[in-house]
C-alpha cells in the first residue's frame, strides 16, 4: 500500500492532520494499530486481510483526541462505524480526514459524511448465510435447550470487557458495569452476571450495531457474541424495515412510529 | 406438598395502569394475590435490567403495563417503550429466556376489570409453566459458592 503511505505522509507533512491512525505490523502474524505522528512513521502502515480491528473505536477516546486531528484508515466496516458515530453526533466532518479503502483494496476519498452514506448504499450490511443458518438453528431449539446452550457458551466469559473496548459504539465514559452503587452486574465470572452482561451489551447496541464483528474478534475466549447482535439486526429489519446507519434517520430505539406493530401486548 | 404459588412482579406506569389497578381495588374486584406491583413514572422508565433483576431475585413471571398508545402522560414514553420491548423480547427469545413469562399489556385508568383479567391469566400461565428453575439455577450459583 505505497499509495496509502504516500497519502498519509503528505497529510502529516502539510500539517492538515497531527496523527494518522492505521494498521501496522504486530507480533507473529497479527496486526496492530499504529498512531503515526511523524512522516517517517508512515512507512509502517500496512493494509491486508488480517486488518480486522475497527479503528473507529479510537475516534472517541480522550487519549487519542489529545494527539490532535486524526486521519483514519477506513475499510468498509470502519466507514459504517464512522457514519453511525456521525448519526449519534459524536464526530463532525471537520474532526477527521478519512483514508477510505474499498473492498477491492483501492483508496477512496470522502468529502463529507453524506458521501460515505452514498458509498455505503452499494455496500449494505449483509449477514452471511452461515450466520443466518446458525441463528435459525439456535432459534429452532426448545427454549430450555437454547438457554442451556447460551449458559454454556457464556460460561468461559471472565468479563475482561474486551468486547466493550473493541466496539466503536461503546463510547460511554462511564459504563453501568463500572458502577458499584448499585452493583447492577456482578463482576465475578459466574453464569448470572455473564448472562446479564451480554444481554445488557446487546441491548445497548440494539438498532445501532453496524455488524463489524470487532467484539467477536476481540474476545479471547471466542464466544460467539456477534450472533446476538446479528440476531438483533434481523429483528430490526423484521420489525422496523431496514438496518444500517443513515444521516437522516434516528437510531431505532431513539425514535418511534405511532403505528409500530407487535403481536404480544395485550 | 403445597401447590406452587407463582411470584409475579408487575412494573406499571403511574398514570394509567397503577390507577387502573387502584380502580380494581375500589371496585371490590377480587384477583390473584401473587402479584407485587412496582410503580414507575412511565413505561419509558422501565429499564430492561429491572426485568432481568426480577428473574435473578426469584420472580417466576413479570407483568409490564402502561398507558394505551396515544394516551401517554408524557406523549411518547410508551411508544419508545414499545420499540424497546420488541427488541428486548427478540433478544430474550434468542437467548432461550422464556418470553411467555413476561406479559406486556396496555391497561388504562378506567380498565379495572382488564387489570384483574391480566393478573389472573398471567398467574394461570405461570402456574402451568411452573417455577422458573432454569433461571434460578443460574442465579443461585453465587449463594451456593458462599455456602461452601
Per-residue pLDDT of A55-114, as tens digits, reads 999 999 999 999 999 999 999 999 999 999 999 999 999 989 999 999 888 999 998 999
What was the pLDDT predicted at B146? 60
Domain locations in chain B?
8-147
Give the architecture (CATH level 2) of B8-147. 3-Layer(aba) Sandwich (3.40)
What was the pLDDT predicted at A38? 93
Mutation test of the interface with chain B: which of A150, A203, A204, A231, choosing the one with the most B Cβ atoms within 10 A?
A: A203
Residues A175, A62: Cα–Cα separation, whole Å: 15
What's the sign of the alpha-carbon dihedral A1, A214, A233, A74? negative
Nearest of A22, A23, A6 to residue A14 by alpha carbon: A6
Domain locations in chain A?
2-120, 129-254
Beta-strand ranges (E) seen in chain B are: 8-13, 35-40, 61-66, 102-106
Beta-strand ranges (E) seen in B46-145 are: 61-66, 102-106
If 0-12 CB within 10 Å is exposed, 13-18 middle and 19+ buried, where does residue A40 land?
exposed
What confidence tens digit (pLDDT) does each residue in A162-203 have?
999 999 999 999 999 988 888 899 888 889 999 999 999 999
What confidence tens digit (pLDDT) does each residue in A208-235 have?
999 999 999 999 999 999 999 999 999 9
Measured in angstroms, the CA of A228 and the nearest CA of chain B are apart by 7
Beta-carbon pairs below 8 A across chains A and B? 120
A209 contacts on B by Cβ (under 8 Å): none
Yes or no: say if A23 and A73 are a contact pair by the CB < 8 Å rule.
yes
What's the sign of the alpha-carbon dihedral A256, A260, A266, B4? negative
Q: Can you give the pTM of this predicted structure?
A: 0.92
3-class DSSP state for residue B129? helix
Are the Cβ atoms of A199 and B82 closer than 8 angstroms? no
CA dihedral in degrees (A242, A246, A248, A251; nearest 10)?
Answer: 70
> What are the residues whose beta carbons fall under 8 Å from the beta carbon of B113, sequence distance 6 or more?
B24, B27, B29
Nearest of A79, A59, A78 to residue A69 by alpha carbon: A59
What was the pLDDT predicted at B84? 95
Residues A208, B74: Cα–Cα separation, whole Å: 25
Nearest of A221, A234, A85, A99 to residue A155 by alpha carbon: A221
Give A106's Cβ-side CA count (13 Å radius). 2
Are the Cβ atoms of A232 and B52 closer than 8 angstroms? no
Residues (pLDDT < 50) of chain B are none
Amino acid at each position: 500500500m505505497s499509495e496509502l503511505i504516500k497519502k498519509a505522509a503528505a497529510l502529516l507533512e502539510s500539517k492538515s492532520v497531527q496523527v494518522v491512525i492505521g494498521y501496522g505490523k504486530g507480533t507473529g502474524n497479527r496486526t496492530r494499530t499504529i498512531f503515526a505522528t511523524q512522516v517517517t512513521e508512515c512507512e509502517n502502515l500496512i493494509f491486508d486481510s488480517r486488518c480486522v480491528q475497527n479503528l473507529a473505536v479510537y475516534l472517541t477516546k480522550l487519549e487519542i483526541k489529545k494527539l490532535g486531528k486524526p486521519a483514519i484508515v477506513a475499510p468498509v466496516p470502519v466507514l459504517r462505524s464512522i457514519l453511525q458515530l456521525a448519526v449519534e453526533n459524536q464526530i463532525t466532518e471537520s474532526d477527521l480526514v478519512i483514508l477510505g479503502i474499498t473492498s477491492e483494496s483501492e483508496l477512496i476519498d470522502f468529502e463529507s459524511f453524506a458521501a460515505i452514506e452514498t458509498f455505503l448504499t452499494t455496500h449494505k450490511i449483509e449477514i452471511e448465510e452461515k450466520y443466518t443458518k446458525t441463528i435459525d438453528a439456535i432459534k429452532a431449539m426448545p427454549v430450555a435447550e437454547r438457554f442451556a446452550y447460551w449458559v454454556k457458551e457464556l460460561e468461559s466469559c471472565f468479563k475482561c470487557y474486551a468486547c466493550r473496548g473493541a466496539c466503536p459504539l461503546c463510547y460511554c465514559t462511564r459504563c453501568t458495569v463500572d458502577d458499584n452503587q448499585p452493583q447492577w452486574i456482578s463482576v465475578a465470572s459466574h453464569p448470572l452476571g455473564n448472562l446479564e452482561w451480554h444481554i445488557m451489551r446487546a441491548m445497548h447496541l440494539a438498532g445501532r450495531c453496524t455488524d463489524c464483528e470487532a467484539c467477536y474478534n476481540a474476545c479471547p475466549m471466542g464466544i460467539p457474541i456477534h450472533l446476538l447482535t446479528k440476531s438483533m439486526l434481523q429483528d430490526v429489519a423484521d420489525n422496523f424495515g431496514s438496518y444500517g446507519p443513515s444521516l437522516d434517520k434516528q437510531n431505532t430505539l431513539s425514535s418511534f412510529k405511532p403505528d409500530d406493530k407487535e403481536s404480544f401486548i395485550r | 406438598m403445597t401447590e406452587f404459588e407463582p411470584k409475579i412482579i408487575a412494573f406499571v406506569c403511574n398514570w394509567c395502569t397503577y390507577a387502573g389497578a387502584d380502580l380494581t381495588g375500589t371496585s371490590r374486584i377480587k384477583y390473584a394475590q401473587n402479584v407485587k406491583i412496582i410503580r414507575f413514572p412511565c413505561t419509558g422508565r422501565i429499564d430492561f435490567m429491572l426485568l432481568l433483576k426480577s428473574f435473578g431475585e426469584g420472580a417466576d413471571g413479570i407483568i409490564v403495563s402502561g398507558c394505551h398508545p396515544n394516551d401517554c402522560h408524557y406523549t411518547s414514553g410508551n411508544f419508545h417503550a414499545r420499540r424497546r420491548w420488541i427488541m428486548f423480547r427478540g433478544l430474550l427469545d434468542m437467548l432461550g429466556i422464556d418470553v411467555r413469562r413476561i406479559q406486556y399489556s396496555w391497561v388504562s385508568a378506567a380498565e379495572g376489570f382488564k387489570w384483574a383479567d391480566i393478573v389472573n391469566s398471567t398467574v394461570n400461565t405461570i402456574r402451568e409453566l411452573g417455577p422458573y428453575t432454569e433461571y434460578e439455577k443460574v442465579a443461585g450459583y453465587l449463594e451456593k459458592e458462599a455456602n461452601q
